[in-house]
Amino acid sequence: MRTRVIRTFLTIAFASLAAALLALDLYAAQASPSLWYPLLMITGTILLLAAMLAYLFVRSFSRQTAELRSYAERLLDPLASGEQLPAGNDDLGDLARSLQRMAPKIRELVETLKLENARREAILASMVEGVLAVDKDLRVTFCNNSFARAVGARIPVHAGLPLLDLVRDPGLLEVMNGVLATGERSEHRLTLPAAADHTFEVLAGPLAGPSTRGALAILHDVTELERLERVRKDFVANVSHELRTPLAAIRGYAETLLDGALQDEKHNRRFVEIIEAQATRLSNIASDLLTLSELESNGKARPTPPQPVSIRAVAESAMRTVESAARVRGVRLVCGHMDDVAVLGSELRLEQVLVNLLDNAVKFNRPNGEVRLEVRELDDGAVRIAIRDTGIGIPSEDLPRIFERFYRVDKARSREMGGTGLGLSIVRHVIEQMSGTIKVDSQLGVGSEFVITLPALD
């Protein structure tokens, strides 16, 4: 552009010089016609020299400006870092020297910006929280992988995508629109259907730039926190309910005794026996709660290293423990196939598991019923422990919840049998700590089968 301007200027100057010299020649020729041809030759020579000088100037200027332009275009190219520009003593030379002095600073600034940008991208991409940035038209300018995975979008999410195409949730759109309209930060709790109904704590705020504005939202998944809060509330309610019943019975019978029933020889002993039974129930609840708390903390308070445990020995000991209760209720205990296999874990806890399952199978059985225990080593290196009974069975709608704390299928009968509602929850925690699984299959009126699978010790 500058070369064209200079060429135009020189062309106009050359034309003006030629017109001025021809005018002088005509004026001189009017006074002396014999001078016309010599003056015309001199004028032609002057114009020829001027044209040559102008051509050389334009050529030199064009070459220098082309070199400066090429150097400026390749300023960020690492290969051009050692290149030297021809620097003369004119204005272009001063410009070339200034450009060479500034080139390292510009490269350093650009590299710093690249490093900062890469660092920011890495931090945002590795965040567990979802991060979303939009412009004033609600078009995505940035979206990390956590947000994309949360809403089920394809990774990567390209910039410029309308937010409505990324996630169709009116709550999130309202939050982003509100931030863009007011320019103030806000906090909301949203449940996104696109994120499998997970609940998120959304912190949104304005994102102001030098030439544009937008909004930034950070989504923290609080689904698990909400679940734990519900579990905590349910646990407190269940514990309160479980403790209230025996405490009310103890208090009621104690008041009855104090009001004169102590002298009632016909009933006072039965009242004391009821108080003792309810106190035993309270003790059992407290003991099971402590056991459950220790299991849920993975034994951090008193870590016990796992030891090799003989399944056969534990099974025989558990059968002996419930033998008297089975005899009283008229239930047969049958030891089926019994492989002598060892597993890694706690002998006391595993025996507690089998006693709980066998005791339930006896309690909820029918007269002349049967409880069968089998231990088999599987081909895949696992141990299968099966406890099958011919009892009343469990309704299918209750099967998914029987391992919950304080959950009872038949609440009245369970309390009558002295159960705390924590036994199966303890069973599940113990088996999971031993890297095993427990499943149940039951038919109402036919019986139930609990199957434990544990990894065998090599």
- For residue 361, give the nearest of 323, 396, 399, 398 by alpha carbon: 323
What does the alpha-carbon distance between residue 365 and residue 368 come to, in Å, rounded to a whole number? Answer: 9
CB 383 within 8 A of CB 350: no
Q: For 95-132, give one letter per residue: b (16+ CB within 10 A) or e.
A: ebeebeeebeeebeeeeeeeeeeeeeeeebeeeebbbb
Q: Looking at residue 301, what is its pLDDT?
A: 47
| Per-residue pLDDT at 216 exceeds 80 | yes
Q: Looking at residue 160, what is its pLDDT?
A: 86
* 33-42, 191-200, 359-368: least confident range: 33-42
| Per-residue pLDDT at 5 exceeds 90 | no
SS3 content of the chain, % helix, strand, coil (to 5): 55, 20, 25
What mean pLDDT do residues 33-45 have? Answer: 74
| CATH code for residues 127-221 | 3.30.450.20
Q: Looking at residue 371, what is its pLDDT?
A: 93
What does the alpha-carbon distance between residue 87 and residue 90 come to, in Å, rounded to a whole number? Answer: 8
What does the alpha-carbon distance between residue 455 and residue 343 come to, in Å, rounded to a whole number? Answer: 7
Domain ranges of the chain: 2-105, 127-221, 227-296, 307-455
Question: pLDDT tens digits, residue range 286-325?
Answer: 777 777 677 767 655 455 678 899 999 999 999 998 898 8
Question: pLDDT tens digits, residue range 340-390?
Answer: 899 998 888 898 899 889 988 998 888 889 999 999 998 888 999 999 999
Fold assignment, 227-296: Helix Hairpins (1.10.287)
* Sign, Cα dihedral of 379, 298, 400, 245: positive
| CATH class for the domain made up of 307-455 | alpha beta
CB 184: neighbour CB atoms within 10 A? 10
pLDDT bin (cut points 50, 70, 90) of residue 191 is confident
Q: In what order do the strands lie in the sheet with 198-208?
A: 140-143, 130-135, 213-221, 198-208, 186-192
Strands (E), 270-324: 307-310
pLDDT bin (cut points 50, 70, 90) of residue 1 is very low
Q: Pick the most confident of 93-107, 406-420, 428-442.
A: 428-442
Q: Looking at residue 454, what is its pLDDT?
A: 93
Q: Looking at residue 389, what is its pLDDT?
A: 93
| Per-residue pLDDT at 121 exceeds 80 | no
